[in-house]
Amino acid sequence: MARKIAKCRLCRREGVKLFLKGSRCFSPKCPLEKKGAVPPGVHGMKSSFKKSEYGLQLREKQKAKRLYGVRERQFKNYYQKVAAADNRGEELLRQLEMRLDNIVYRLGFAPSRSAARQLVRHGHILVGNHKVKIPSYQVKVGERVVLSEKAAQIPYIAAWLKGEYQPPAWLKRKVNQGEITRLPKREEMPPEIDESLIVEFYSR
């Protein structure tokens, strides 16, 4: 069983906002806003440690894995699927972006990917006319993703839906339903991830 780590510690460890706690990440309560990108732990303040090439690759892989909320074996499986592609790094990110839990988050139906994952697992998300409870389900271009009326009445989801949110250009949303119009381009995926380092990590 994977060890659970406080979400804010994960952001501090990677030195960037991973947006794991929804609206808190946009508020002054975010530890990165208060303390800066200082790693957690007793040695966090020491900046004299120089990362090796392997260390940089490992941290980039961990950052991507934690951003999308997938486990080690899942992440490795995603890489193996795209290992034969010309642009492995970009295709890896695209596989992660097309996960159902990420699509729900990108459409603005949930404040974080973990909240989106919970909505999927509890049966609050329909793909087409079918209820899908698998967060890793790969959504296809043209498929319609719908948030159930029951989920829209959950207090924290209802409050989030009232806010102003603009989905990325490759998604189209109308009220509580959205559609994937095309595959995302690299510039529409997380800029804080250097996918070339992840490719180098698995190419060792």
CATH number at residue 55: 1.10.1050.10
| Same domain, residue pair 87 and 118 | no
| Same domain, residue pair 68 and 122 | no
pLDDT digits (tens, 9 = 90+) for 112-142: 999 999 999 999 999 998 999 999 999 999 9
| Same domain, residue pair 122 and 88 | no
Are the CB atoms for 159 and 165 separated by under 8 Å?
A: no
In a domain, 2, yes or no: no
* Residue 115 lies in domain: 103-182
| Same domain, residue pair 155 and 89 | no
Residues with Cβ < 8 Å from 18, sequence gap 6 or more?
7, 10, 11, 63, 66, 67
In a domain, 187, yes or no: no
Which residues does the chain have with pLDDT short of 70? 1-49
| Same domain, residue pair 162 and 92 | no
| Same domain, residue pair 155 and 108 | yes
| Same domain, residue pair 12 and 86 | yes
pLDDT at res. 1 = 37
| Same domain, residue pair 115 and 154 | yes
CA dihedral 70, 170, 26, 149 (to 10 degrees): -80
| Same domain, residue pair 60 and 82 | yes
In a domain, 144, yes or no: yes
**125-127 β-sheet, strand order:** 130-131, 125-127, 144-147, 177-180, 171-174
Cα angle 189-195-200, degrees, rounded to a multiple of 5: 170
In a domain, 46, yes or no: no
pLDDT at res. 119 = 97
In a domain, 31, yes or no: yes
- Tally of domains within the chain: 2
| Same domain, residue pair 198 and 176 | no
Q: Per the structure block, which two tokens stand in for 202?
A: 């698995």
| Same domain, residue pair 158 and 92 | no
pLDDT at res. 201 = 96
Length in residues, the chain:
204
| Same domain, residue pair 129 and 197 | no
Scanning the chain, the segments in alpha helix (DSSP H) are: 7-14, 31-34, 53-68, 72-82, 88-97, 100-106, 113-121, 149-152, 155-162, 195-202
